[in-house]
A and B are shown apart, each in its own frame.
Chain A
Amino acid sequence: MVEQTLYSITQFYPEIIVTVTLCVIIVADLLTKKESHTTGWILLGGFVLAGFTLLLQVGRNESVFFDMIAIDPFSLFFKLILLLAGIFVILFSVQSRELDQYMNRIGEYYMLLAGMMLGMMLMVSSTNLLMLFLAFELTSLSSYVLVGFTKHSKRSSESSMKYIIYGAVSSGVMLYGFSLLIGTTGAVDIYGINEALAAGTDQTLILNISVLMILVGMGFKIAVVPFHFWAPDIYEGAPISIAAILAVASKIAAFGLLIRFFSISFADAGGISATGAWQGVEGIHWNLLLGVMAALAMIVGNLTALRQDNIKRMLAYSSIAHAGYILMGVVILAAEGLTSVMIYLFIYLFMNLGAFYVAMLFSNKIGSESIEKYKGLGKRAPLQGVALTIFLVSLTGIPPTGGFVAKLYIFGAAVSAGWIWLVVIAGITTVISLFYYIRVVRNMYFYGSESGNDPLQFNVWSNVILLALLIPTLLLGIYFAPVLEFARNSIHLFGM
């Protein structure tokens, strides 16, 4: 027992480092001057260090802490991209003007960010329903507070409130689902559930209800239709850096959790079949249900995004649509589908963070998030304008950008598994998405500025960060073999 615990701790360094950093930040916040981002830099160091220790785990495939946590290539992949997203979000926060008047509480901000990261890292690796729920709640609670961090802003407080209510209800429903599942199968960890289901059960109805309930919670986190209503309001109200982490990291983590939970709990004895059909729970055609959810997310997300004027709201609806595209890959719960999901998430990280980043830079300078106010910005901020154009083009999925490769693999997986109708919907909605993405580009370039023509000045660091997001977005469109290789090697779930 002690031995296993001690051994487990050696496999748990990344999480421990993040936890320690969290504690250090609390102390540092008391000791350092309030008006600086010192705590942010400490957190950045913590994330980088955690990333390095993660790399030591390459190739591990085992379960630690008495089957609570899986250390496998799958979780490694997700943790790496989560940390990467976290690092970018810290870099965004340091430059954010929105946070300026809350500098006396900035330590709290970074502490919560550390908590959220810890929660997300546990989300993608836990194999026990209790652990899974705790991780889920740790992430949620941190993010509720972060969304309302700019507390003098009415919108921010309002969105925090909304987020809590939506979030609490959906995690409650999910928890209920868990309890039903535990009750019918008598197991708390996903392997046990799988065994119990494989042995056969006559509680089909309850099982179906419980899985539906669990889908509610997860659907909420990935913001997929019909659980998406919170996203636009919350993104609009939250500071842009937090909207970015919600749209990217939190979504990535939720997908990791969803994939692990469903593919292990309901796998067949021989693993998942080529078309990814789940036989574990009878009664409902699960693939079809997810397929319909994906289709709805693509349709609703893209159509609603057409009418938005606030760039954060637009990006919120766009991220709902992207959740739909990613869910398409989950529908094909076979290797191809999972690989394509992981490629998508990796590329999505760069392009979506990039779009949020430029939105933040512009908001810092012109004090507005309205797309109408972007008129003439292409000329006033050439690099940022071109960068935003490329990010948006990539989100649309036009080559030679990363977004195209992401879509290519998702569409490819769906075509090869025979989900033609779903791909056709995805294709049509992609065309629709062109409208609202290109509208931003059009405003930046085709119109003269209404608020002065002086060029906007950005410091060198902000350009460096921008390039750090821009270059991968472009490069991944031309040469993507390494990501493909990385994703393909990372689909090994412990126990599969």
Chain B
Amino acid sequence: MEFSIFGIGILTWLVFVPIVGMIIILMLPDKNRNAIRWTAAGATGIQVILAAVIFAIFDRSKLGINDAESFQFIEKYSWITVEAVPWVGRIEINYFLGLDGLSVLMVILTSLIALIGVISSWNIQKMVKGYFALYLLLVTGMMGVFVALDFFLFFIFWEVMLLPMYFLIGLWGGPRREYAAIKFFLYTFVGGILMLLTMLALYFSVAYTDPATGQSVHTFNILHMMNPANYVEGGLLAGVDTTWRYVAWMALFINFAIKIPLFPFHTWLPDAHVEAPTPISVILAGILLKLGTYGLLRINFPIFPDATIYFIYFMAVLAMISIIYGALCAMAQDDFKKLIAYSSISHMGIVVLGIAALNTQGMVGGVLQMFNHGIITAVLFLAVGVLYDRTKKRGLYDFGGIANQMPKYTGLAMIGMFAALGLPGLNGFVSELFSFLGAFEAYKWITIISVTGIIITAAYILWTIQRVFLGKTPEKMSDLSDLTLREYLAFVPLIILIVLLGVYPAPAIELMNASLSHLVEFMNSGG
């Protein structure tokens, strides 16, 4: 499948339209705030249109994962090639983009959440120009990670997200923003260094034979790294089930686990969420966390099937702890944002448990849960944002009886809350069901224990609804206005998706089914 506009492939457009927007914004005068906002909306809007085109013409039957031929919208150009260095051979770094069933859903999610983030950023008043410029840079980084098939490119995009996020939390955040920003930066940077070292070890261990010249070429190509035949004799990571392969797997896993975040690497998340401005929380929970699980599936699983299988119980147990620990912590919070932050840890644990099952149900459930959780937490953070804008408060005990004041808002927010709770008929239920079904097949006891997390989730969500939306209104909060048009614009598309995918999840599942089945098959045969 190919699709290009003015001779440039659709994925390049998708990744770099925000950069173009950023450059336009930087050239606009400071005072022209609306032009800046509309440029950002335009750039992300174009991304949504491109994502819709991809959704329409994406070939659902192609496998992808480790087979370069069956990736779609491929763009591959030589970026840096240096001929025959002594002892190293040819150096090759490619600009290599492509989509398969694993990434396509993430691309759609990213474009959607990015646009909604812009809509909910409309009332940011401080340094508007800088805010949107950084925001668009961040979007480029995220989109780039999801489409990159060259490890070097993947790494660059991965690290490009660091600085914008640091500034977005640190400059536009809450009272403890500085602490939260550096903590986020530091955790992610540690992970980045681990990934860098593993990437280099992989690079020196993998060399494919160039069919044209017969030369042995070292490469960062992720797909070549999946083929055991490409590992050079005596390379650090050659062979199967070697100590170094375990070490490399662990280094990558820690990097991704920090992003997910999986217990015990999660402590940056509550801080970052609480301090970040609403739209950045939306981006953080909606997209950034998915990069972690995506990385596991794109890199850890197919490159190190042996090590993945070796550590699979370890992963499942960490997932179980995250599910229960996250839910328990969420229950103990009295800050609305912190509650959602911990619920994210719990829900991302379900993703990890699903993919750790290494069977198709679990995998499909896990990836679908990534998408659903992105949408649901976006709604929840938007809901907190709406209240915070009106009252400047986030404490759960500060509110009460919001349902009387803002009935329409309450309706929409409650749909989001119920989806998080896993109510049948809404999207969260479908993906959690699949994840647990798959996991139950693989690990009976771990799954049984994990499912208790769902009960705790139900408890804290119902309790939250009770504290915030029901009951008596405190006197201070007697004149809250209901949603504005702009807020509707942010909420409604997400709510529609929540209901739609809850009732009829097939369109999403069809997109990824072939690729994920192939991944499962590849894992079980290669490992």
A binding-site residues for B, Cβ under 8 Å? 274, 334-336, 339, 393, 398-400, 404, 408, 411-412, 415-416, 418, 423-424, 427-428, 430-431, 434-435, 438, 442, 445-446, 479-481, 484-485, 488
Contact = CB atoms under 8 A, between A and B. Distances in A.
Nearest to A427: B193
A442 B170 contact: yes
Interface string B120-159: 0000000000000000000000000000000000011001
26 contacts: A335-B88, A336-B88, A339-B85, A398-B159, A398-B189, A399-B156, A399-B159, A400-B160, A411-B196, A411-B197, A412-B200, A412-B204, A415-B200, A416-B87, A416-B88, A431-B186, A434-B185, A434-B186, A438-B166, A438-B182, A442-B170, A442-B182, A445-B170, A480-B80, A481-B80, A488-B85
Contacts of A400: 156, 159-160
Given A411-B196, A481-B80, A485-B82, A399 B204 contact: no
Contacts of A438: 166, 182, 185
Contacts of A446: 170-171, 177-178
B29 to A, nearest CB: 13
Contact of A416 (B159, B170, B182, B204): B204
10 shortest interchain CB distances as A-B pairs: A427-B193, A416-B204, A415-B200, A335-B86, A399-B159, A399-B156, A481-B80, A412-B200, A484-B82, A431-B190
B82 A481 contact: yes
B71 interface: no
B236 interface: yes
Contacts of B185: 434, 438
A11 B79 CA distance: 38
B333 to A, nearest CB: 27
Interface string B37-58: 0000000000000000000000
B155 A399 contact: yes
Interface residues of B, number: 36
B129 to A, nearest CB: 10
Contact of A431 (B86, B156, B162, B189): B189
B87 A412 contact: no
Contact of B85 (A274, A336, A408): A336
Contact of B159 (A404, A411, A430, A485): A404
Interface string B155-179: 1100110110011001100000110
A479 B178 CA distance: 33
A397 to B, nearest CB: 9
A427 B194 contact: yes
Given A412-B200, A434-B185, A480-B80, A335 B155 contact: no
B94 to A, nearest CB: 13
Contacts of B91: 484
Contacts of B177: 446
Q: Most B CB atoms within 10 A — which of A399, A423, A430, A480? A: A399
A484 B92 CA distance: 12
Nearest to B91: A484
B188 to A, nearest CB: 10
Interface string B506-519: 00000000000000
A287 B275 CA distance: 48
Given A415-B200, A435-B182, A435-B186, 14 more contacts: A335-B85, A335-B86, A339-B85, A398-B162, A408-B200, A411-B196, A411-B200, A416-B204, A418-B236, A424-B197, A427-B196, A431-B186, A431-B193, A480-B80
Nearest to B203: A412
A485 B190 CA distance: 31
Contacts of A393: 163
A454 B236 CA distance: 57
B452 interface: no
A336 B82 CA distance: 13
B87 A335 contact: yes
Contacts of B162: 398
B201 interface: yes
B87 A484 contact: no
A392 to B, nearest CB: 11
B460 to A, nearest CB: 34
Contacts of B166: 438
A479 B95 CA distance: 12
Contacts of B182: 435, 438, 442
B57 to A, nearest CB: 31
Nearest to A389: B163
B77 to A, nearest CB: 12
Given A412-B203, A488-B82, A427 B87 contact: no
Nearest to B85: A488
Q: Is the interface of A mostly helix, strand, loop or mixed?
A: helix
A270 to B, nearest CB: 13
A408 B204 CA distance: 13
B265 to A, nearest CB: 15
A480 B81 CA distance: 10
Contacts of A445: 167, 170-171
Given A408-B196, A408-B200, A481-B81, A415 B86 contact: no
Contacts of A334: 86-87
Interface string B191-209: 0111011001101100000
A428 B186 CA distance: 11
Given A415-B204, A427-B194, A442-B170, A398 B163 contact: yes
Contact of A434 (B85, B160, B189, B203): B189
Contact of B80 (A336, A427, A484): A484
A334 to B, nearest CB: 7
Given A334-B87, A336-B88, A399-B159, A479 B80 contact: yes
A412 B192 CA distance: 15
A418 B81 CA distance: 24
Contacts of B163: 393, 398
Contacts of B159: 398-400, 404
A378 to B, nearest CB: 9
A421 to B, nearest CB: 12
Contacts of A430: 193
B93 to A, nearest CB: 9
Contacts of A442: 170, 178, 182
Contacts of B86: 334-336
A415 B236 contact: yes
Nearest to A274: B87
Nearest to B127: A379
A274 B156 CA distance: 30
A373 B7 CA distance: 51
Given A335-B86, A438-B185, A427 B197 contact: yes
A207 B85 CA distance: 34
A339 B86 CA distance: 11
A446 B176 CA distance: 11
Nearest to A439: B182
B127 to A, nearest CB: 9
Nearest to B162: A398
Q: Most B CB atoms within 10 A — which of A334, A481, A485? A: A481
A423 B197 contact: yes
A399 B158 CA distance: 9
B237 to A, nearest CB: 10
Nearest to B170: A446
A31 B189 CA distance: 57
Contacts of A484: 80, 82, 91
A408 B152 CA distance: 10
B193 A336 contact: no
A361 to B, nearest CB: 21
A27 B156 CA distance: 53
A96 to B, nearest CB: 30
Interface in B396-413: none
Contacts of B194: 427
B251 to A, nearest CB: 10
A47 B279 CA distance: 53
Nearest to B193: A427
Contacts of A408: 196, 200
A415 B201 contact: yes
B8 to A, nearest CB: 18
